[in-house]
Structure 1
């Protein structure tokens, strides 16, 4: 019953804000437009002046007072759904579904009166489509920017996305592919939080260096420069938006994949893999000349292929270092083998915690 009355109160505030005459915005307000927010990750402001969260774990924050606030969010697909997730007063809460045909705002309730801090994250990846944030209503709202800190950009595939990691609400093998996404709990954001740094996820499920899990492309080198990682997109990402101190690249799992067993699949081509990887790292270095490049192996590849991948990454490092003798040498990190417990052989949220713990000393050293 209290939630019902709170919803009505929030909607009343929204209507009042809509009818109010224009005035200079003070430090706090009872309504925030999308253009007032300070998002982090890959995003854009669309022609309607709404915020589109694009990349995995793209996020924004604000403070409010009182029992809660309302977020007006939508997705382009009226019949579909997507997920946000949030952190309230520094504590992770849960995922929340964004329905395409929803008419009411998403209500975030707080534990009580006083000032609260809220960070909203996109739980899913770019290929799921953008989540559109139109406005926010509440009491004494104030947009928050990320604290000044070094940035790690995590380039990768479904593992980096946090895909298939969280079957707590929708069991494995049921629902849509993105129903088990949990980008907030993926290893990259976990490492960043542990080291008190900022992060950007540039990741696509099923993607590889020279081929994808079940196709020849488009691969990461073909989509990396596109804002939404779509090959046919005309929107190019502005790489001057961030200057990461470290760029982590974790690709190769899908190049080694045997596919679905139906479509013809040639054996892994190590020469093609290494040559294409070297070219891609050179592109990344051209975007971020001063960044430290780190190449990660795959926790999902074991046995002889694990050794082969490690040898390939060592070859990539050798060639990149030779091409850039005055730059910081490329660093390598090889995961320990893992028997992943998530959906379709992916790491689950507990596995991601283990991967992050394994990675923390490595990234901590690179950030010094």
Structure 2
């Protein structure tokens, strides 16, 4: 039996009063090894009426998502093909706003917690695209179920890039969020929630940034600032001055958390036409201002996505689109990790 407190998660998490590990951020993950053909994971969620998703790798090969129902009393059973020693990595498939997934304990023969190998770390800050939201309708078709039924954080571009480059990753991402305004509201935006443990404005608990030290911090925000919203709520035209000034201040906050990290600003594969050019110009202005303010630091890196006609739910990239985005980004991040 392995108590949750012995796990070594990677990403945003907290050990609660019951000594359970609450998995919070998209793709937060932990590993363990065991002997034999089965292990049992005791997991809970706060909402007895709700559900959430984990996903896992077995012996280095991705398997599938696992649905956790709020009223379930049974452990999750994972079977391995045959005896011997096996390695499992468990990932949270959904984002922080979906609610935490609590891990109580894991039962198996000769079970041992695994620590992530020491590798360069990339933190990916972003919106629903970075979450891998609306990307995987393989079990629940688009337009049915609830929003997080199509989340697949493991297959999002960030984790894919990191795996291909032999890097570690953490995702700091919230669907619908922007720099100075969100998809259909004026806030709370990423600069307002980034320091909160679970990216929720009302939460007094702060994330302990000293837990991980990224070599690169990738920021991909702007899609929602440019959004027209739902067409019902009043929406002012995009304000480039507000966007740039707020973005500059946010980069300064990130630099206070990770003074040595290389900052990378990504555009959006979903912003096209004249807005695409405007977003690129805004990001260039953020870079120029930041580089001037921090002359001793590595210059801010910029990456502008090729336009994409996304094939996932509600205009988002699907799992295959994320593979395309990751392949596009690999050379860029490879250079940053040198």
TM over 0.5: yes
Q: Distance in 1 between matches of 2:164 and 2:238?
A: 36
What secondary structure is seen at the aligned counterpart in 2 of 1:229? coil
Q: Distance in 2 between matches of 1:91 and 1:355?
A: 21
- Tell me the TM-score normalised to structure 2 length: 1.00
- Listed as ranges, the gaps of 5+ residues in structure 1 are 1-30
Is 1:181 the counterpart of 2:160? The answer is: no
Q: Distance in 2 between matches of 1:230 and 1:253?
A: 20
Which 4+ residue blocks in structure 1 deviate beyond 3 angstroms? none
Is 1:289 the counterpart of 2:259? The answer is: yes
1:52 aligned residue:
22
Q: 2:303 aligns with which of 333, 336, 361?
A: 333
Aligned length: 338
2:209 aligned residue:
239
Q: Distance in 1 between matches of 2:17 and 2:250?
A: 32
Give matches, 1:53-72, under 5 Å.
53-72=23-42
- Listed as ranges, the gaps of 5+ residues in structure 2 are none
Q: Distance in 2 between matches of 1:68 and 1:159?
A: 34
RMSD of aligned C-alpha atoms?
0.3
What secondary structure is seen at the aligned counterpart in 2 of 1:240? helix
Is 1:280 the counterpart of 2:246? The answer is: no
Is 1:155 the counterpart of 2:125? The answer is: yes
Q: Offset at 1:187?
A: 0.2
- In our comparison, the structure showing a higher alpha carbon Rg is 1
2:236 aligned residue:
266
Q: Offset at 1:238?
A: 0.5
2:331 aligned residue:
361
Q: Distance in 1 between matches of 2:34 and 2:299?
A: 45
Q: Offset at 1:147?
A: 0.4
Is 1:303 the counterpart of 2:301? The answer is: no
What secondary structure is seen at the aligned counterpart in 2 of 1:127? helix
Is 1:83 the counterpart of 2:27? The answer is: no
Give matches, 1:37-48, under 5 Å.
37-48=7-18
- Tell me the TM-score normalised to structure 1 length: 0.92
Q: Offset at 1:325?
A: 0.9
Structure 1, residues 59-93: CA drift from partner, whole Å, max 9, x if none?
A: 00000111110000010001100000000000000
1:251 aligned residue:
221
Structure 1, residues 9-63: CA drift from partner, whole Å, max 9, x if none?
A: xxxxxxxxxxxxxxxxxxxxxx000101010000000111000000000000000
Q: 1:167 aligns with which of 128, 137, 156?
A: 137
